[in-house]
């Protein structure tokens, strides 16, 4: 059985009289990427700060590799690499100076610091900037330096709080590739309020809204959470939109190209079988029919609305 690197049990935290998170339960194994999804202010950063030992929770427990964060924080933190939302960079340091300082903070043995810095720079693609001041790097490379400090001590768990926030499209693609590479050897928790980021990167997703978990499953299950109500059809000899509109259960016809259209249906009829049957009967020469997948935006909206309705 694969060992759990992270186990969070009944985690709750209160700021003054207001609960930021309530009854968070979460478990992840030793490799792969877990997406922590939620709108701004949902409780993602609070959860991540507690799991990394930056913040003491009001209730509940966090275990890193079986070590209770409250009981032995130093031992637990040795297994964690953390990049908070605002990367803790010293702009007047060179890349090497900064990583050497981080290695010192991580209690890496003196004779191993040079190799640790080399490893982190190579993995993050910043070796050619060793003597460059951090303030002279682009936003994308600053994030790479931030990730380098999070992996310099080869932790078993890397926690990244919105690491692509503020980057341009090219930089986002580069940081995504880096995160995927890092996740081949260790577990990664990746937080974002951008749906497409989580969809592209993550194997599993946990969504927090209003401080509570409203969804926790695989990315495929998340994509299929809202039942699709449209099909894409391609026909060599398509009928008129009026003819298609008269098929029982069809509520709307959207023409995409000369031979392709999207058919919306009410969900009460087995629509694909009916289209295939009518195509054979009327020589429409059906080439393809497929259910549309729900967009992540639809899923996000549905889960958010469900959470609001419970309040």
Q: Do residue 147 and residue 205 come from a single domain?
A: yes
Dihedral of CA atoms 243, 248, 253, 258 in degrees, nearest 10, equals -40
Q: In the listed set 195, 223, 251, which residue is the last one of a domain according to the structure?
A: 223
Strand partners, 34: 189, 204
Residue 130 lies in a domain: yes
Q: Do residue 128 and residue 251 come from a single domain?
A: no
* CA–CA distance, 121 with 71 (Å, rounded to integer): 33
Q: What is the mean pLDDT of each run of 10 residues along the chain (311 residues)?
A: 82 92 90 86 91 94 94 94 92 97 95 96 94 95 94 95 85 88 91 80 89 89 69 91 90 89 77 88 91 60 61 54
Residue 298 lies in a domain: no
Q: Do residue 51 and residue 131 come from a single domain?
A: yes
Over residues 11-25, the pLDDT tens digits come to 999 998 899 999 999
Strand partners, 31: none
Q: Do residue 269 and residue 158 come from a single domain?
A: no
Task: Let me know: does 210 contact 47? Beta carbons within 8 Å.
Answer: no
Residue 59 lies in a domain: yes
Residue 308 lies in a domain: no
Residues 6+ positions from 46 with CB-CB distance below 8 Å:
13, 20, 21, 55, 211
Residue 302 lies in a domain: no
Residue 104 lies in a domain: yes
pLDDT of 209 = 87
Q: Do residue 254 and residue 161 come from a single domain?
A: no
* CA–CA distance, 250 with 172 (Å, rounded to integer): 40
- Count of structural domains, the chain: 2
Tokens 């790097």 correspond to what residue?
Answer: 137
pLDDT of 227 = 55
Q: Do residue 236 and residue 195 come from a single domain?
A: no
Q: Do residue 109 and residue 52 come from a single domain?
A: yes
pLDDT of 159 = 95
Q: Do residue 200 and residue 53 come from a single domain?
A: yes
* CA–CA distance, 139 with 254 (Å, rounded to integer): 42
Closest CA to 195 of 110, 294, 276, 99: 294
Q: In the listed set 223, 254, 279, which residue is the last one of a domain according to the structure?
A: 223
Q: Do residue 210 and residue 239 come from a single domain?
A: no
* CA–CA distance, 247 with 233 (Å, rounded to integer): 14
CATH number for the domain spanning 240: value is 3.30.70
Tokens 């768990």 correspond to what residue?
Answer: 157
CATH number for the domain spanning 218: value is 3.40.50.300
* CA–CA distance, 125 with 112 (Å, rounded to integer): 20
Q: In the listed set 166, 189, 223, which residue is the last one of a domain according to the structure?
A: 223
Task: Let me know: does 209 contact 216? Beta carbons within 8 Å.
Answer: no
pLDDT of 40 = 81
Q: Is 149 helix (H, G, I), strand (E, B) or coil?
A: helix
pLDDT of 248 = 87
Residue 296 lies in a domain: no
Over residues 28-44, the pLDDT tens digits come to 987 789 999 888 888 99
Task: Let me know: does 160 contact 190? Beta carbons within 8 Å.
Answer: yes
Tokens matching residue 92: 């007047």
Q: Do residue 80 and residue 178 come from a single domain?
A: yes
Q: Do residue 163 and residue 267 come from a single domain?
A: no
Residue 311 lies in a domain: no
pTM of the model: 0.74
Closest CA to 132 of 95, 92, 90: 95
* CA–CA distance, 130 with 150 (Å, rounded to integer): 17
Q: Do residue 104 and residue 205 come from a single domain?
A: yes
Domain interval for residue 37: 4-223
């Amino acid at each position: 059985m694969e060992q759990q690197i992270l186990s969070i049990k009944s985690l709750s935290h209160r700021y003054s009289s207001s609960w930021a998170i309530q009854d968070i339960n979460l478990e992840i194994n030793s490799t792969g990427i877990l997406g922590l999804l939620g709108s701004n202010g949902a409780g993602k950063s609070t959860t991540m700060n507690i799991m990394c030992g930056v913040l003491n929770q009001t209730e509940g427990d966090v275990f890193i590799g079986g070590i209770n964060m409250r009981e032995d924080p130093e031992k637990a933190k040795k297994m964690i690499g953390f990049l908070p939302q605002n990367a803790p960079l010293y702009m007047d340091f060179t890349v090497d100076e900064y990583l050497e300082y981080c290695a010192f903070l991580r209690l890496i043995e003196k004779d191993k610091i040079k190799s640790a810095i080399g490893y982190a720079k190579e993995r993050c693609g910043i070796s050619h900037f060793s003597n460059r001041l951090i303030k002279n790097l682009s936003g994308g490379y600053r994030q790479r330096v931030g990730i380098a400090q999070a992996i310099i001590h080869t932790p078993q768990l890397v926690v990244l709080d919105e690491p692509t926030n503020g980057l341009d499209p090219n930089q986002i693609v580069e940081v995504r590739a880096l995160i995927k590479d890092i996740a081949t050897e260790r577990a990664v928790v990746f937080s974002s309020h951008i749906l497409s980021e989580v969809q592209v990167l993550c194997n599993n997703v946990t969504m927090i809204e209003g401080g509570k978990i409203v969804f926790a499953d695989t990315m495929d299950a998340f994509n299929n959470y809202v039942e699709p109500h449209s099909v894409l059809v391609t026909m060599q000899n398509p009928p008129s939109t009026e003819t298609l509109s008269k098929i029982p259960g069809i509520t709307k016809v959207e023409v995409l190209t000369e031979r392709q259209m999207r058919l919306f249906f009410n969900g009460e009829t087995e629509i694909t079988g009916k289209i295939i049957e009518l195509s054979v009967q009327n020589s429409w020469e059906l080439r393809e029919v497929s259910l549309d997948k729900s967009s992540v935006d639809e899923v996000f909206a549905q889960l958010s609305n469900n959470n609001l309705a419970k309040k």
